[in-house]
Structure 1
């Protein structure tokens, strides 16, 4: 590669070592996880209280099943989104941060998918209890579509559009 092109690549790139890149990516990932953790923990905390309300006993079998599935999904989402913190703590100082960042990133993506499922199931349950209208599944499907667009569609479009040139 000619010197002019190498210099141009350095100006556009970060010119960081693998360890520096892993440190930066770890910090970015932890910031992202904080946002998702807060959402899942608030939702999960709310879900845990529902079973202790008088209205729970009056739910139909279907609604109770939706509730149980939703709580399990929330527990799994919480585990996946807290997982990167535990991963970091247990491998810290072992000189495997680049690999830890990859695993933490995978756990975070899994946590986001589980959060999507938890939020969708929660919305389904709440709307089923709040109304008997037949439009509830369509409304939930619309919200799920919106989440998919915001959380995955737009980021994947931007990734494709701006990194495949």
Structure 2
């Protein structure tokens, strides 16, 4: 199912490349803020699990499963904080184009580690309660849901029925403000 907006033909942003980069980076930071809060709470919760009485009763395999999940959540936290650190380091160096591209990749990697940590926690919880086979099934279903909602729907469900021409605004230096990179 493709979603469309009735006014798509008339929707054009009249912005320079610098304005586009600023907007793209601001949107990226807003996305990271949303994900970062959740993953930090999730990571903090995972950190408390070994201090629970029942943790000692887990098998070594379950403890390894837990550690892998914890490390994935920790990696997600680091990757979601990284765009802020990168911005601080690259501030006023006229590298916004590279910053947007690089931090977008960091955020995507953070989402991958968040998905892995979620699936790890789901699998471990189901394994402790109902055994290995239900845990594997729960992880498979969880992975299918994540792939569908986080990747398939955004990439295939929101397809444009036709392309919208982009009309760039001239930069002060006389260039057209476009680059070989995505104008989104």
Could you tell me the TM-score, scaled by structure 2's length? 0.79
After superposition, the C-alpha distances for 1:64-109 in whole angstroms (9 at most, x for unaligned) are: 0100111111111111111111111111111111110111100000
Per chain length, whose mean CA-contact separation is higher, i.e. which structure has more relative contact order (CA < 8 Å, sep 6+)? 2
- Where does residue 94 of structure 1 map in the other structure? 93
- Where does residue 179 of structure 2 map in the other structure? none
Higher helix share: 1
Partner SS, residue 133 of structure 2: coil
Map 1:74-93 → 2, pairs under 5 A? 74-93=73-92
- Where does residue 162 of structure 1 map in the other structure? 160
Give the alignment's Cα RMSD to 1 decimal: 1.7
- Where does residue 60 of structure 2 map in the other structure? 61
Structure 1 residue ranges, 4+ long, deviating more than 6 angstroms after superposition: none
Report the Cα distance in structure 2 between the residues aligned to 1:157 and 1:33, rounded to whole angstroms: 23
**Structure 1 gap segments, 5+ residues each:** 1-10
Report the Cα distance in structure 2 between the residues aligned to 1:116 and 1:102, rounded to whole angstroms: 21
Report the Cα distance in structure 1 between the residues aligned to 2:19 and 2:41, rounded to whole angstroms: 34
Could you tell me the TM-score, scaled by structure 1's length? 0.88
1:135 paired with 2:103, answer no
Report the Cα distance in structure 2 between the residues aligned to 1:129 and 1:164, rounded to whole angstroms: 50
